[in-house]
């Protein structure tokens, strides 16, 4: 090999070296640009706020307010409506100072409901007119009664004995044909035919409902 050929080869080799470096630099720049773009894309996805909104929605769901009707008592049980109940009244033996009658309100539905307070009780004559006055509230207002299906709440109706025996004055209201009872918290009445109680001595009271 002549010196000129060696020089020529050296020249070709030295000429190829910058071209390789340029290709390497270009590839490196492309890789760096792709990595930068990927990182930039990842940052955009985490900063757009969408992840926080989804998390917030999941946290808010359990605290959503329940139905307004079931929110009244805070426990999800609605108040008893007149249509949920049936009514009965019967004499209670053993009253020492007059006559007591057990007024019962029965939950006839398949769901629990609440009662609290005293029912409003009216005696109705055969002509449909009210006899005397509504029963006067007696005692404390009472506590909330949760009526499970087919269970009963009780209130006591009280009046004086009939006749001149020291507890009544001999004057009694007309015997009723029916009772009209408004459960507490409702504007509709339950009506049941009954000839009792017959109120005497102008004494007619009702207690709060209880078990």
pLDDT digits (tens, 9 = 90+) for 135-183: 999 999 889 999 999 999 999 999 998 864 444 556 899 999 999 999 9
- Give the residue ranges of the chain where pLDDT is below 50: 1-17, 20-21, 24-25, 27, 29, 31-73, 164-167
Give strand pairing partners of 87: 105
pLDDT at 71: 33
The DSSP annotation for 35-90 comes to HHHHHHHHHHHHHSSHHHHHHHHHHHGGG----TGGGSSSSSPPBPPGGGEEEEEE
**Which parts of the chain are beta strand (E)?**
85-92, 99-107, 113-115, 120-124, 130-131, 136-137, 145-147, 152-159, 178-182, 190-193, 205-206
């Amino acid at each position: 090999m002549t010196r000129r050929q060696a020089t020529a080869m050296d020249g070709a080799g030295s000429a190829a070296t910058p071209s390789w470096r340029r290709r390497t630099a270009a590839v490196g720049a492309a890789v760096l640009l792709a990595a930068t773009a990927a990182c930039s894309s990842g940052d955009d996805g985490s900063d757009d706020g969408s992840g926080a909104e989804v998390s917030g929605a999941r946290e808010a769901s359990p605290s959503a307010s329940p139905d307004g009707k079931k929110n009244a008592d805070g426990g999800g049980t609605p108040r008893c409506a007149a249509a949920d109940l049936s009514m009965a009244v019967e004499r209670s033996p053993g009253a020492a100072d007059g006559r007591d009658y057990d007024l019962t309100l029965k939950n006839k539905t398949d769901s629990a409901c609440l009662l609290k307070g005293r029912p409003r009780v009216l005696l109705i004559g055969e002509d449909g007119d009210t006899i005397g006055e509504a029963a006067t509230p007696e005692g404390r207002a009472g506590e909330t009664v949760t009526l499970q299906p087919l269970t009963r709440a009780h209130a006591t109706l009280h009046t004086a004995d009939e006749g001149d025996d020291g507890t009544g004055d001999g004057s009694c209201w007309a015997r009723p044909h029916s009772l009209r009872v408004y459960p507490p918290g409702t504007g509709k009445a339950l009506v049941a035919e009954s000839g009792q109680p017959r109120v005497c001595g102008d004494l007619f009271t009702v207690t709060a409902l209880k078990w």
